[in-house]
């Protein structure tokens, strides 16, 4: 892996910046055209070329979106994420890097790690997951792969970019804890583990400020806190106020501003509104990345399109999720004479999404042809389209498909979302398949008990017919080799090993943001907080159609043991959890072992369980393996907005391990001792209960409570006669006045005790309490 901005590159950049005019410096901070940076020939600074991404190379050959060089179209991110295979994703990244080198591209615009807040998000197919750990780990592997070839990446879209509605102006209103625990984590993991050369800031605002000029995001969090060493590139057209962007840490505006931003920068420096030293800093960092990209370029690179196609097939194979199987799969070719293949997608696959990520594939396979090739000529394949390209169907097409299905031993129906249903630029309006697809599946299921449905879609869909069919295969948008991959799984050449990277709900109304998405008049309020994806379904006890992490295999895995070095641990040292899994079935297969953690009695509402580790293992029949997961402080922590930091509370934490978020047979409990953290000093505004939260202020707290109680005329802890809750004035011994007063006092801002105690605690005395409490801080 390459590290960015080594000292000599930085020194070279500084030396070059020192020779530049103000105009030259400004000229570097925005693109020369749509895809490349501005060169400065007199100083030998060349232009570099960027292109989309993420699942293939879209190097435009004209201004037309559809014209680009042929490139391997890998499965899109939701499919890649369903492999849960970091090594495979790294390999895909390396292949992408090679294709970039061969095509003179220095930076690939991906990966995208935005969370799937709602299944309606138009670009969900381009994003990995609803879970930040899964998305972050896979993004890191992807980046490492691409950058291992000397090509940069652009981790996008930073941040809280979760919808297409009003995409260039929307303000994502997200509370601090939610931002940290959900929407920033995948970026953080990818930055810390893989140092992408660039991060692409999003179009939207985050809590009132455009991401492209957001100092909190670009400077304080990304650079200072996470140690990002690369540069920030604007999403194409995301700049609002270029000067504010320079101040906040936006290095490069894309595409070209036709010189207007450059002129504004020059004018701001001349007018004293922008310090030239700040501009120098931004240009030096930017230049260091440009120099690095130039130095790593290998124009003589070539690649074998067939090899990359084979890799695309492997990735598509592992991405396929077997959602349901009542014995219909794999196809028993010895007993099968006729297979009905139904649905136009069998012949013209839906294999990628629309928008900036659209790739021109080097080849494209249909599942129909691939299936025929795999099963040979002894088995007869009959095909009917069943529906038109737009998803509509009519009685004649359905009747024809039904006739073929009834006469066959098994029917395989290809369905999913037509291209017009999911794309960059707009969100979906529902999670339904086209009516024509649903009607077709219903009709075939009624005619043929062995009906298998194969789905091609980039994001979760509802399946009202799920109970009526014998098997369901989620093939996602599987890239150019999707046809072979589907045939591999249907025939058993590949044992499916994909697991859902997002929850499939029964209905849109069941989804976490269903009442808030996509917001109105420029604002999206993330009212569901941290309860996104399975975190929501688990907390609300909503039964999903298929849960996060779910995926079946043609073999059986048994989770046989879980152990840990010690059950009482401290949060910093963490724990090493060992898990044993055995293949008790008859075929070799791969299993994704998932580990979730829950805090038993949290003080803030936390998810029922959160994914904290995973591993994909390969097992022969009868083979058993042991996997060790290391859990650290962060795996027990939540974001404590009151101290603006990750916090762990001492207590019990359950660790669950299994093959899906809803199938976790192994469990153990850890007693975690949290190490003391530096808490901010107590102030007059602190609540009195905060004195009780800190062991070293317990004595002060006890004194305040005692005095307060005396001032209310309650001396001791004994039960005093109180008043009935019924409000009839009758004494009610159940109410403990002592406890009641204590409860009232606990919730009081500290300074109010002076007035509320009627002078029993004087102002001087109160100041003394504060002073003592803060002096005693460890």
The contact set with ligand BGC (CB under 6 A) reads: 52, 109, 156, 235-236, 356
Q: Helix, strand or coil for residue 49?
A: strand
> Do the Cβ atoms of 164 and 524 come closer than 8 Å?
no
CA 39 to each of CA 12, 42, 196, 300: distance values in angstroms, whole numbers, following the listed order: 16, 9, 22, 22
> Do the Cβ atoms of 136 and 184 come closer than 8 Å?
no
Token code pair at residue 33: 């055209």
- Cα atoms in the 13 Å half-sphere on the side-chain side of 437: 28
> Do the Cβ atoms of 447 and 394 come closer than 8 Å?
no
Cβ-proximal residues to 771 (8 Å cutoff; 6+ apart), any chain: none
> Do the Cβ atoms of 167 and 204 come closer than 8 Å?
yes
CA 462 to each of CA 135, 266, 293, 586: distance values in angstroms, whole numbers, following the listed order: 23, 54, 45, 33
Token code pair at residue 107: 């930076």
CA 651 to each of CA 572, 573, 618, 633, 679: distance values in angstroms, whole numbers, following the listed order: 14, 15, 35, 13, 19
d(CA 179, CA 186): 11
Q: Helix, strand or coil for residue 538?
A: helix
Phi, psi of 639 (to 5 degrees): -85, 115
Q: Helix, strand or coil for residue 611?
A: strand
- The catalytic position among 52, 171, 235, 640 is 235
d(CA 543, CA 560): 27
- Cα atoms in the 13 Å half-sphere on the side-chain side of 690: 19
d(CA 700, CA 681): 14
d(CA 494, CA 639): 42
Nearest to 607 by CA among 546, 666, 661: 661
Four-CA torsion 533, 536, 539, 540, nearest 10 degrees? -130
Q: How far is the CB of 238 from ligand BGC (least distance, A)?
A: 8
334 burial level (CB within 10 Å; 0-12, 13-18, 19+)? exposed
> Do the Cβ atoms of 98 and 301 come closer than 8 Å?
yes
Q: How far is the CB of 235 from ligand BGC (least distance, A)?
A: 5
Token code pair at residue 641: 């907005």
Other beta carbons within 10 angstroms of residue 132's beta carbon come to 25
Q: Which uninterrupted H or E stretch holds 695?
A: none
Q: What is the DSSP letter of 52?
A: B
Cβ-proximal residues to 600 (8 Å cutoff; 6+ apart), any chain: 651, 652, 653, 654, 669
Which residue number is nearest to ligand BGC in terms of Cβ? Answer: 356
d(CA 685, CA 253): 43
Furthest-apart CA pair in the chain: how many Å?
Answer: 97
d(CA 540, CA 744): 31
Q: How far is the CB of 446 from ligand BGC (least distance, A)?
A: 43
> Do the Cβ atoms of 122 and 426 come closer than 8 Å?
yes
Strands 209-210 and 205-206 come out as antiparallel
Active site residue 235: yes
Which residues have a catalytic role annotated? 235
């Amino acid at each position: 892996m390459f590290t960015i901005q080594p000292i000599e590159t930085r020194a070279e950049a500084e030396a070059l910046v020192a020779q530049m005019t103000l105009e030259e410096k400004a000229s570097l901070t925005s693109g020369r055209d749509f895809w490349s940076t501005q060169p400065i020939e007199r100083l030998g600074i060349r232009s570099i070329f960027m292109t989309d991404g993420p699942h293939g190379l879209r190097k435009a050959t004209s201004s037309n979106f559809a014209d680009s060089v042929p490139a391997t179209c890998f499965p899109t991110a939701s499919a890649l994420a369903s492999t849960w295979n970091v090594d495979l994703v790294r390999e895909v990244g390396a292949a992408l890097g090679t294709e970039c080198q061969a095509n003179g591209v220095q930076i690939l615009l991906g990966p995208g790690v935005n969370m799937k807040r709602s299944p309606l998000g138009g670009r969900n197919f381009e994003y990995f997951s609803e879970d930040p750990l899964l998305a972050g780990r896979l993004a890191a592997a992807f980046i490492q792969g691409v950058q291992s070839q000397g090509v940069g990446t652009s981790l996008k879209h930073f941040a809280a970019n979760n919808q297409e509605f009003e995409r260039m102006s929307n303000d994502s209103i997200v509370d601090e804890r939610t931002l940290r625990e959900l929407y920033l984590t995948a970026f953080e993991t990818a930055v810390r583990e893989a140092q992408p050369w660039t991060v692409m800031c999003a179009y939207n605002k985050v809590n009132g400020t455009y991401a492209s000029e957001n100092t909190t995001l670009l400077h304080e969090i990304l650079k200072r806190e996470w140690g990002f060493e690369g540069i920030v590139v604007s999403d194409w057209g995301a700049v609002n106020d270029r000067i504010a962007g320079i101040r906040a840490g936006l290095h490069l505006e894309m595409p070209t501003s036709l010189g207007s931003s450059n002129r504004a920068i020059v004018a701001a420096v001349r007018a004293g509104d922008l310090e030239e030293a700040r501009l120098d800093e931004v240009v030096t960092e930017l230049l260091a990345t440009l120099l690095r990209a130039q130095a790593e370029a290998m124009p003589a690179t070539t690649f074998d399109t067939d090899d990359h196609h084979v890799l695309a097939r492997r990735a598509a194979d592992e991405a396929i999720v077997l959602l349901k199987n009542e014995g219909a799969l794999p196809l028993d070719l010895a007993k099968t004479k006729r297979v009905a293949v139904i649905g136009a997608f069998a012949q013209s696959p839906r294999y990628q999404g629309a928008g900036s990520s659209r790739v021109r594939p080097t080849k494209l396979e249909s599942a129909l042809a691939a299936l025929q090739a795999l099963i040979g000529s002894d088995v007869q394949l009959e095909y009917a389209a069943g529906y038109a390209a737009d998803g509509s169907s009519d009685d004649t097409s359905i009747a024809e498909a039904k006739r073929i299905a009834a006469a066959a031993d098994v029917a395989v129906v290809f369905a999913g979302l037509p291209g017009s249903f999911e794309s960059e630029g707009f969100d979906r309006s529902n999670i339904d398949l086209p009516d024509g697809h649903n009607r077709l599946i219903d009709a075939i299921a009624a005619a043929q008990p062995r009906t298998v449905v194969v789905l091609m879609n980039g994001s979760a869909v509802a399946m009202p017919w799920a109970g009526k069919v014998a098997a369901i295969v989620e093939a996602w948008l599987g890239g150019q080799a999707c046809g072979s991959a589907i045939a591999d799984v249907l025939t058993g050449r590949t044992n499916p090993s994909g697991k859902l990277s997002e929850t499939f709900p029964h209905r849109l109304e069941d989804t976490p943001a269903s009442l808030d998405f996509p917001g109105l008049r420029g604002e999206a309020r993330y009212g569901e907080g941290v309860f996104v994806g399975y975190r929501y379904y688990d907390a609300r006890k909503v039964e999903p159609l298929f849960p996060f992490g779910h995926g079946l295999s043609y073999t059986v895995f048994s989770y046989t043991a879980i152990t840990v070095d010690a059950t009482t641990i401290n949060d910093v040292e963490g724990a090493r959890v060992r898990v044993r899994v055995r293949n008790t079935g008859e075929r070799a297969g791969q299993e994704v072992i998932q580990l979730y953690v829950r805090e038993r009695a949290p003080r803030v509402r936390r998810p029922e369980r959160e994914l904290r580790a995973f591993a994909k293992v390969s097992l022969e029949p009868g083979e058993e393996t042991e996997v060790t997961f290391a859990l650290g402080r962060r795996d027990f922590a939540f974001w404590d907005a009151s101290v603006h930091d990750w916090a762990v509370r001492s207590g019990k934490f359950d660790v669950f391990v299994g093959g899906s978020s809803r199938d976790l047979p192994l469990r153990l409990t850890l007693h975690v001792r949290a190490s003391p953290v530096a808490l901010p000093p107590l102030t007059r505004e602190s609540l009195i209960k905060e004195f009780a939260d800190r062991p070293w202020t317990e004595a002060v707290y006890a004194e305040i409570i005692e005095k307060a109680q005396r001032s209310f005329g309650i001396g001791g802890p004994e039960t005093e006669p109180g008043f009935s809750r019924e409000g009839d004035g009758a004494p009610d011994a159940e109410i403990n006045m002592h406890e009641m007063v204590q409860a009232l006092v606990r919730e009081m801002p500290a300074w109010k005790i002076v007035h509320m105690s009627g002078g029993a605690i004087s102002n001087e005395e109160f100041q003394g309490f504060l002073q003592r409490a803060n002096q005693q801080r460890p």
